Structure 1
Amino acid sequence: MAETFRSAMQTAERLQQRAERKRGGDAAALFAEAVVHYRKALAAAASGPAPPAADHAACLFGLAESLQEQAEAVVAACAQAPDPLSADMVRQADAQAVALLHAAVAAFGQVLEAGQPRADALVCAGNALSTCAEVAARGDVAAALPLLEQAAGAYEAALRREEDALTWSNLADALVQHASLCCEAGLARQAQPLFSRAMHAYQRCCSLSDALAGDDLPGLLCNWSRGLLAAAQQAQDPSLVLSLLGEAEQRLQRSIDFLRGSDEPLLALGDVLLERGERLAAAGDTAAASHALQRALGEGYQAVQRISARSPEAAVGVADVHVQAARLAVAGGQAAQAAEHWAAAEAGYRAALQQPTAFDFRERSDLRYNHACCLSRCGRHSEAAALLRQLVAVGGASEADARQDGDLQGVVL
């Protein structure tokens, strides 16, 4: 039986390594095969001579990793599927992924050291729980909240065993995710303490990091800024919002200084400045809002396009800025300028949607809906109607909501 354990374990490891070099459905199939062989190895260990404890723990860890990576590959394969992608297809993939991730968490929990959960297994369990929450939230936000509590608990347990910058970063990301979903679920009062804990975790993470030692400090600063942006998007006090956005911008400028030529901090800067423009516009400060939007274009999204001309994310950002600029122009009675901005927004969404597999189903649906709104604002009502009918057919939009949208006046579904 010992030989059977070793043989099955070796086969599983080879399959897992092959899977890690693949993507999407091909990766998912190989990870599934690896899972079968890891389980064969564990069954052999249970029915015969026990293998060394380290080998048994390695087998459990490999099983858990393969389950987690299979789940992520299933989700990625669905997200990257060509059109037509439907809500039903997403629900089926998500249900499979959630089951696999729960199994992964259970397996990580069995990886012990001196009778206690191993620190690296705790971190991996936290990652699996965070991913599970992200997937589950697409169908039921309330179901995701306890998963994120468990994820934070796993990270904190790992930190008590061994302090690590990346674990602090993972904890911070999970807390931001938890806080944002609390707001979405109507539990805003529970969100503020979570955001505060997240900011402390980001600070601790960066204090333990050293770019000269090879740590990804630019990436950590970018993540911190996105956490601040998420907090600002949920805040109601205008002064707090602008303060949080100011902090986010400062950290992004440091990230950009560290890593010239990287898309991610520039995209994040565009998002921060766009949020500032939207908030200032809502407060009636048209001049400041217009300035923030111009900066979002020039310093954020267009800066990305100078690096990567076909960036679909940058095209979306450009379109979003022009939508807000069009609304400012409408409010100011500047019809000609508004028309120019609507046309530019339509072109931006159209460019992004030429690469639909860059976006998951929800993102594609939102982009197509926004594109339809811009087509309508440009007077192209029949094109907007055709796009919306396709969107409703795959479960990406509600006909009732579309009929009540002021941007879609004149569109007959």
Structure 2
Amino acid sequence: MSEIAPTERAAPNVMDTTPGNQAATFRNQDQVWPVRAIRCGEAVRALPPHGRSLSGLTYRLGDLTLNVDDYVARHRTAGLLILKGGEIALERYGMGNVTESLWTGFAATTALTGTLAGAALHDGAIGSLDDPCDFYLPELLGSAYEGVTIRNLLRMCSGVAWREDYDNDARSDAWRLGRAMARRRPGAVLDLLCHLPRVHPQGAIFNHSTGDSCVLAAVVAAATGRPLADYLAERVWGPGGMEADGHWQLEWEDGLELGGFGVSARLRDMGRFGLLMLEDGEARDGRRVLPRGWRELAGRPDSEATAFGALSPGDPGGYGYHWWATPPTPGAHAGVFAVIGAFGQFVYINPGDQVVAAIQSAWRKPQDAAATAETVTLLRAAVRALRQAP
């Protein structure tokens, strides 16, 4: 059980908080929305201490030399976990969090949704990633999503219109999604998505879209015939050796999980999810829960639209299957991929150095380029330090 005081209350709107109630809101989304439990299994994956501690880690930022405490304080960090070879090199908490705290992941949930698509492919519930999504979800027939393949949903290249911003007006599709959720009406989210127009041929243009992730979630749920939280428990939470139940926000009471956000979990369990991806979907007991080679498929671009440097002007990154891909950087970031959620949520995977990091934060704005850049600097310093023998 969490040691957080039970009297703290979440704000009604996760996007509209004060500095004083933001952490309580991120910890307690089950006070605001209906959720479905993600049950952990019986066997917990141990995370022993690594031989080299990063407690004294420093990094350079301009003319400043900063340490871990500085990072935690500067960026309202609720949890910072760095694993090397499955062992804890650094673990810090702030913002009132403890090891037992659950924290909402925002768009970090998209990586879990994409992973469940891989699990469904491995299980045979999905025959091919090139199947049209309406084959599994006929409700999409007649919408702009008709004919869009599961692969292009994973790439966020559906070609369906979506404005992914947080402007509090009707021009923002994210805002309209929030309004649909607030209705607590069965089917309200899918109704919204089915009325979106097509603006590009599928596969031609990358557009980061919570809508695509929500459609993907509905497709996986239809293909497997299972609630996504139950399927996640079976294919990720149990095999990954998670230590505690999490929960997933629902469209309405007993309704569909929202594929673009809404999973709340402990910091260590998000780290264990990163380890399952690092190990290419092979659980500690030898069970394979993802197709062989899924790590490289999910973590690297595989199309012109998602290639390194093609996403937006000035951005060298690329996109895999619901993961951001980092271009190879000599000596630092070969093969790295990550998922990034609003307000500073990260799961970072570095296959070459066997490093996984999970970060939970309460930034005061959804996107912060300076904070993201400093996070990358911290992680690069950690990777370099861990290359030294303990």
TM range (shorter): under 0.3
Q: Report the structure, 1 or 2, having the larger strand content.
A: 2
More helix by share: 1
Larger relative CO (CA 8 A, sep 6+): 1 or 2?
A: 2
Q: In terms of Rg, which structure is larger?
A: 1
TM-score, structure 1 length as denominator? 0.23
